[in-house]
Structures are given as C-alpha cells and as structure tokens.
Structure 1
Amino acid sequence: MSDRNLIILILEDQGLVRAGMRELIQISEPQARILEASSYEEALVRLEEARVDIAFLDIDLKGARSGLDFLRQLRERELDTRAIMLSGRSDKDVVMECLREGASGYIVKDMESDGLFRRALDTVFQGSVFLPANVIGRGGFSPTPPSTQAPVTAESLGISGRALEALYWVCQGLPNKAIARHMGIEEGTVRKDYLPRLFRIFKVVRRTELLIEVSRRGIHVPRPDSVPPEGGAPAPAPGIRH
C-alpha cells in the first residue's frame, strides 16, 4: 500500500494550460501534491525539492531546453519518475523518439474535449500507457467511458511474478540498469531473459513496440508492491514508494 501521496510535476510554459491540468489532476488524484514549472531550469529546481513520481512534460517549451531535454535529464539521473509527454503535435516520429528516450506516455494537448483529456489522465493514473490513436494503429485502445467489459490484465496474457514486475518497470520507461536495480538482479538478466520473454508474449522485437502494444490493448500493469512472486506471498515494493 501507498505510504505517501503522489508527487506530480507539471512542466508547461503556458500558465492557463498548467492551471487546467492542475484542476483535472486534482479531480483524478485529489490527494496528490502538484509542483509546477514553466521552464527546464525551474523544473530542475522542483526536482531538487521532492522525489517526483509522475512528470507531465511539455515538449515545446519557449526556452532553449525542451521537455524532451528534461526527460533525458531524468533518465541520466536514473530517477524512477514516470514521464508523460505533452504536445500539440501527434507526429508518430516525435512520439517514437519520446518513447525511445524513456517516456511512458504521450498526451496531445489539443484533444477535442476536457472529458477526453481527463480520461487520458485516468489511463495514466491507472497504470496503463496512453498514446495517440495514430501511433497505436487502427482498432487500438482509446480511453472510453466505463463499460461492463472486464479490463485486460497482464496476468490474462500469462505474465506473472517477476516477469510482471519487469513489465511494470519497462512501462515506466526505465533503462535495463535501473530495472535490474529495482529487481535485485543482474542487468544481463533483464536484457537476456525478461525482455526477450516479454517480447515473445507481445510478438514484438523492441521496447517501443512493447509500449505500443500495452497501450493498444489497454493493459493495466500493477505496481510491484502488488505483484506476487511465483508460488509465494506478495513481494515488497522494490525500492520505490507511491
């Protein structure tokens, strides 16, 4: 279980957009502590103030440094912050670059309604990967109003125990070294065992394709503190609290 509230960073240079996002985030996560920054430099200061769980990063900032630069900074520091990119563009090449750099979601800011944008946020907070429709392809998952249909789970695909834990960290955008640290295993084990196993299950050959499949199917991947090891009781959260 969580022993502190989520800390969420909004990096966005437009004050009105930040205010709108803050309001929507507070609806979805009323107990969250929300930090705001209007520039890359200000976001670095916020990063020193608290351990950020989720960062919503505007790609197209007015300054010399972009939200993508800040994403790279997060990954260079090997932080566990989950990065969701914000942009007015949905170009597939841009989205794929963000995923390669360690993003775990991408929300287009000019969505047609606040209701749809809020459902995109809910998708993120529920542990799923949100990507634009043009990236996940025709017939892909998109946030819809609640229905009676049961959500897709990783367990229903035969992913459990340590493999499920590895999938969670991959979906956070973390590199192999950080995943290995969380799981208490060698980096080579992540690269040679868990990743190939997940690729086979999803019928993909790289991480970006794996994230797209998780998004396309609307799969919920539970946090490690709720992942039971094979044949045992629930495992403790490996090095991160939410």
Structure 2
Amino acid sequence: MLRKKDNISVILVEDHGIFVEGLNTVFQKIPGVEVAAAFNNGQDALEYLQQHTADIIFLDISLPGQLSGIDLCQAIHRMRRKTKVIALSNHTEKHIINDMLNSGANGYLLKNASLQDLENAITQVLQGQFVMSDEVREIIFSPSGAPQKLPRLTAREKEVLHLIGEGLTTQQMANKLFISIQTVESHRYNLLQKFEAPNAVTLIKKAIGMGLMKADEDK
C-alpha cells in the first residue's frame, strides 16, 4: 500500500503533451500521489530539481535539447540520491535499457503500462525494489554476449543473490536467513563488487547471463 502520512510527489519529464495529460489523469486516480511538476525537456527538469525535491520521477528517454533521459537520470542520481527514477518509454532496445539502468534508474516501464502497473511501481520503488515491464524483463534477462569469468561466491552470497532475484527487500532477506540487516547489506555490497554491477538489476542480469540464475527467478 502507498504511504498515507504525506503525499508522494511525482515529476513527469515527457515531451508529448497529450501523453502528459493522460498520465496526470491516471495519477489522480492513485490515492496519496500528487504530480508536483511536468517538463518537456531535461534541462528545465534539472533546474527545477536544483531547488526542489521529489519522491519519484517518471522519465522518457527521447527528449528534445541537449539532455537525453539517460543523461538526466545520471544527473538526478548525483544530485538527488533519494529520488527514485522510473523510465517510461517505448524504447525496447537492449542497449538503451541497460544504459538507463546503469545510469541509476530504479525501474523501466513501457508506455503501455496500466494504472495498476504504475501504482505497483510507485509502491515498489519506494520500498527499495526495482521494477520493470514483463517485456523489458525478458529483453534484459536474455543471455547474450561472450562468456564471462564466473566470480567466486560464498554459500551465503549465493543465497542472497537468489533472494535478490526473487525481489525480496533487505528486511525480508534478513528475516528469511536469520541474519541482521547489516549482514545482508554487506553480502549485497560484496555481490555488487564481485559482479562489477552498479545496482541490483544489473547484478541479476549479469548472474543470469553467466548461467547462475534463471530469468523467472527474478519475478
């Protein structure tokens, strides 16, 4: 469920006005969510964020001007570490999706996402999880490229890796493994280092590409 104490502030960065109007209508139907601002280019959004904060930014990738959605995501990640960024795009090219996720995005949805998809995405990213459309999941988790050297993992690291793939939160993993949150975070950090991954999505993608996990384990 969405939090009730304060409204969740959402910013839209999208250059198609009709789509923005549609999103505004959709978000009005989600209790506790407020669209604080909307921008049709990355530069205006960045200037706004220098003075204001937001909980979640829904961001298109193809934007007019010098800043692409990927560039803007990187800038937001540096400037507002607590702000969650969800790509909302029609791009299904694997390299573009990977570039967006590697830039610090907390999720990637296609523009055909339903009201329920958007509401679930908001809830999940605020809980520290990554979200993506089923089609996007299939694209990025499809094994490809040359074989990579497998990192050496401890038994506990393997357990944590599979639990991350199942979408469990740090607290849920701690409860399931009967260890502290700090220990889970330590294992998570070690996994990111060993796989040279900037975030959990890339970590799981690499693990699947190496044959260490199955794609359906990240559901």
Which TM-score band (shorter chain)?
0.5 to 0.7
Identity across the alignment (%): 21
Q: What aligned pairs does 1:138-217 form with structure 2 within 5 A after superposition?
A: 153-154=168-169, 155=172, 158=177, 161-162=181-182, 166=185, 193-196=187-190, 206=197, 207=199, 208-210=201-203
Query: Which of 1 and 2 has higher RCO (CA within 8 Å, sep 6+)?
Result: 1
Measure how far apart 1:94 and its partner are: 0.8
1:17 aligned to 2:19?
yes
Q: 2:167, 2:204 → 1: CA distance? A: 15
Q: Which residue of 1 aligns with 2:151?
A: none
What is the DSSP-based 3-state SS (H/G/I as helix, E as strand, rest coil) of the residue aligned with 1:119? helix
Number of equivalences: 173
Q: 1:137, 1:84 → 2: CA distance? A: 18
Q: Which residue of 2 aligns with 1:124?
A: 121
What is the DSSP-based 3-state SS (H/G/I as helix, E as strand, rest coil) of the residue aligned with 2:121? helix
Q: Is the 8 A contact 1:129 1:211 kept in 2?
A: no
TM-score by length of 1: 0.59
> Runs of at least 4 residues of structure 1 off by over 6 A?
none
Q: Is the 8 A contact 2:8 2:33 kept in 1?
A: yes
Q: Is the 8 A contact 1:90 1:132 kept in 2?
A: no
Structure 2 residues not aligned, in runs of 5+: 142-165, 209-214
Spell out, residue by residue over 1:190-232, the C-alpha distance to the aligned partner (whole angstroms, 9 max, x if none). 6xx54225899xxx7733334658x96577xxxxxxxxxxxxx
Q: Is the 8 A contact 1:104 1:211 kept in 2?
A: no
Q: 1:97, 1:125 → 2: CA distance? A: 21
Q: 1:125, 1:68 → 2: CA distance? A: 20
Structure 1 residues 20 and 217: alpha-carbon distance in aligned structure 2, compared to 1, 3 A threshold: farther
1:91 aligned to 2:93?
yes
Q: Which residue of 1 aligns with 2:8?
A: 6
Structure 1 residues not aligned, in runs of 5+: 141-150, 167-189, 220-242
What is the DSSP-based 3-state SS (H/G/I as helix, E as strand, rest coil) of the residue aligned with 2:131? coil
Measure how far apart 1:3 and its partner are: 4.8
Structure 1 residues 131 and 62: alpha-carbon distance in aligned structure 2, compared to 1, 3 A threshold: same
What is the DSSP-based 3-state SS (H/G/I as helix, E as strand, rest coil) of the residue aligned with 1:126? helix
Measure how far apart 1:125 and its partner are: 1.5
Structure 1 residues 68 and 209: alpha-carbon distance in aligned structure 2, compared to 1, 3 A threshold: closer
Counterpart of 2:120 in structure 1: which amino acid?
A: T
Structure 1 residues 120 and 196: alpha-carbon distance in aligned structure 2, compared to 1, 3 A threshold: same
TM-score by length of 2: 0.64
